[in-house]
């Protein structure tokens, strides 16, 4: 008895976040999402990808290295010369535009990664809320059944109830106590998951889980704003620009240089030279252009495939929200009121001696299962709402 009381008190301290648990931290959903976004390595990696693409931006317009030569044109002396090759200005503009698009793609990748992290954290937060609420309900029922079981044993010893009623009360209390221990483990596991995602070391106390339907169905086209789809759309832009870059490789290049090919005292004006690089080997350039154009089609097909999957997932989740919403309404209007009426009537009949103990206990378990079933349904509803926000990219 003493061990049970001590363990129950410790559990209440952990769940309710009382001052005795100094390391416990109260956390709203928004705070948990922000903490996970800042802590998660995937978010930092995505941010570093943006930094990397920005660092590559100056290299997009880099010139070829100059060529420095030393030669003896007449055999009497050596001259130092330097030549520099240039592409046409349009080639540099195209490469810079391509690299700028890579920067945009990396930034969109950050948004997509953050949504993944925030969605996983939101699910973990919702699971912790649900499991704590379930644990508290089981704990109250466990206390009641333990008291009834002890009273049944005393009544059996006094000859007031038979052995079947006494053993049935003990059995029901034992079964529920086993569920309570499992629920305690579920709360601990859910808390650890949220700690891992947010980087918070101490116990986390979420906001109370209120089983009240909130939120309206979003616009049917919000799924098109999905960050993953935005990144794939940017892939098609990059693929188009890659074709333009490959086409610029077929343009001629200009070479300018300074070297004295005459006598040492030849005029300075005669020491300059210029050249033009003519791309004669068209086949190698054509193959790269064709491959880049194929890349455009690949990007478009990838976008179409992902759009199809995202739209289908959006529709399925919308149906899940509507289905669970209607079931919750039925529970709220019909099931739960009738369950409470059954519990009250069963208690009055038992206290008035009109029903036996096993019947009273069975009614209590049935009412509890109905309540837990309602919470299970509401958990599914919340998860579906979170998924809609995740697909729309607004978590």
Q: Helices H, strands E: what count in the chain?
A: 9, 6
Beta strands 67-71 and 79-86 are antiparallel
Q: Residue 53: what pLDDT?
A: 92
Q: Residue 15: what pLDDT?
A: 45
What pairs with residue 67 in β-bridges? 83
Whether 46 and 128 have beta carbons less than 8 Å apart is answered as no
Is 339 a residue whose pLDDT tops 70?
Answer: yes
Output 9 or 199, whichever has higher pLDDT.
199
Listed by start position, the domains of the chain span 28-213+232-392
Residues 6 or more apart in contact with residue 363 via CB below 8 angstroms: 342, 343, 346
Show the tokens assigned to 75.
Answer: 């055999």
Q: Residue 220: what pLDDT?
A: 65
* Other C-beta atoms lying within 10 Å of the C-beta of residue 355: 17
Tokens 């034992």, located at residue: 174
Handedness of CA 170, 175, 179, 182 (dihedral sign): positive
Output 213 or 8, whichever has higher pLDDT.
213
Whether 140 and 372 have beta carbons less than 8 Å apart is answered as no
Q: Residue 354: what pLDDT?
A: 82
Domain boundaries 28-213+232-392, corresponding CATH code: 1.20.1600.10
- The reply to whether the predicted model has a pTM over 0.85 is no
Q: Residue 13: what pLDDT?
A: 41
Whether 246 and 292 have beta carbons less than 8 Å apart is answered as yes
Is 11 a residue whose pLDDT tops 50?
Answer: no
- pLDDT per residue over 142-200, tens digit each? 888 888 888 888 877 777 778 888 888 888 888 889 989 999 999 999 999 999 999 98
The number of CA neighbours under 13 Å toward the Cβ of 40 is 24
Query: How far is Cα 259 from Cα 275, in angstroms, rounded to an integer?
Result: 13
- pLDDT per residue over 238-253, tens digit each? 999 999 999 998 899 9
The number of CA neighbours under 13 Å toward the Cβ of 360 is 22
Whether 128 and 190 have beta carbons less than 8 Å apart is answered as yes
SS3 state at 176:
helix
Three-state SS sequence of 368-392: HHHHHHHHHHHHHHHHHHHHHHHHH
């Amino acid at each position: 008895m003493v061990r049970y009381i001590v363990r129950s008190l410790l559990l209440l301290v952990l769940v309710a976040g009382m001052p005795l648990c100094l390391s416990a931290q109260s956390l709203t959903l928004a705070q948990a999402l922000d903490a996970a976004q800042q802590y998660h390595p995937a978010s930092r990696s995505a941010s570093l990808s943006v930094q990397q693409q920005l660092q590559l931006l100056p290299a997009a317009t880099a010139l070829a290295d100059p060529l420095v030569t030393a030669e003896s044109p007449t055999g009497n002396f050596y001259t130092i010369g330097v030549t520099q090759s240039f592409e046409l200005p349009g080639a540099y503009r195209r490469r810079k535009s391509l690299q700028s698009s890579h920067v945009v793609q990396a930034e969109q990748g950050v948004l997509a990664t953050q949504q993944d992290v925030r969605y996983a954290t939101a699910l973990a937060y919702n699971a912790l809320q649900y499991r704590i609420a379930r644990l508290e309900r089981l704990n109250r029922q466990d206390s009641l059944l333990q008291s009834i079981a002890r009273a049944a044993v005393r009544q059996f010893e006094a000859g007031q109830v038979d052995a079947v009623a006494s053993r049935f009360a003990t059995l029901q209390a034992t079964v529920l106590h086993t569920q309570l221990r499992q629920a305690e483990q579920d709360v601990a596991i859910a808390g650890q998951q949220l700690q891992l995602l947010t980087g918070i070391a101490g116990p986390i106390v979420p906001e109370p889980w209120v089983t009240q339907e909130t939120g309206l169905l979003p616009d049917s086209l919000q799924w098109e704003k999905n960050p993953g789809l935005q990144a794939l759309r940017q892939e098609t832009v990059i693929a188009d620009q890659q074709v333009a870059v490959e086409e610029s490789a077929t343009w001629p290049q200009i070479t300018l240089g300074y070297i004295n090919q005459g006598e040492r005292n030849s005029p300075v004006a005669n020491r300059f030279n210029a050249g033009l690089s003519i791309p004669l080997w068209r086949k190698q350039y054509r193959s790269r252009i064709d491959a880049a154009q194929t890349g455009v089609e690949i990007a478009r097909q990838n976008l179409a495939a992902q759009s199809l999957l995202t739209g289908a997932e959006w529709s399925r989740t919308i149906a899940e929200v509507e289905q669970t919403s209607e079931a919750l309404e039925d529970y709220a209007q019909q099931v739960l009121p009738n369950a409470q009426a059954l519990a009250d009537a069963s208690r009055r009949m038992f206290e008035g001696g009109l029903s036996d103990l096993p019947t009273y206990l069975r009614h209590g378990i049935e009412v509890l299962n109905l309540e837990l079933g309602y919470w299970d349904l509401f958990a599914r509803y919340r998860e579906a709402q979170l998924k809609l926000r995740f697909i729309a990219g607004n978590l």
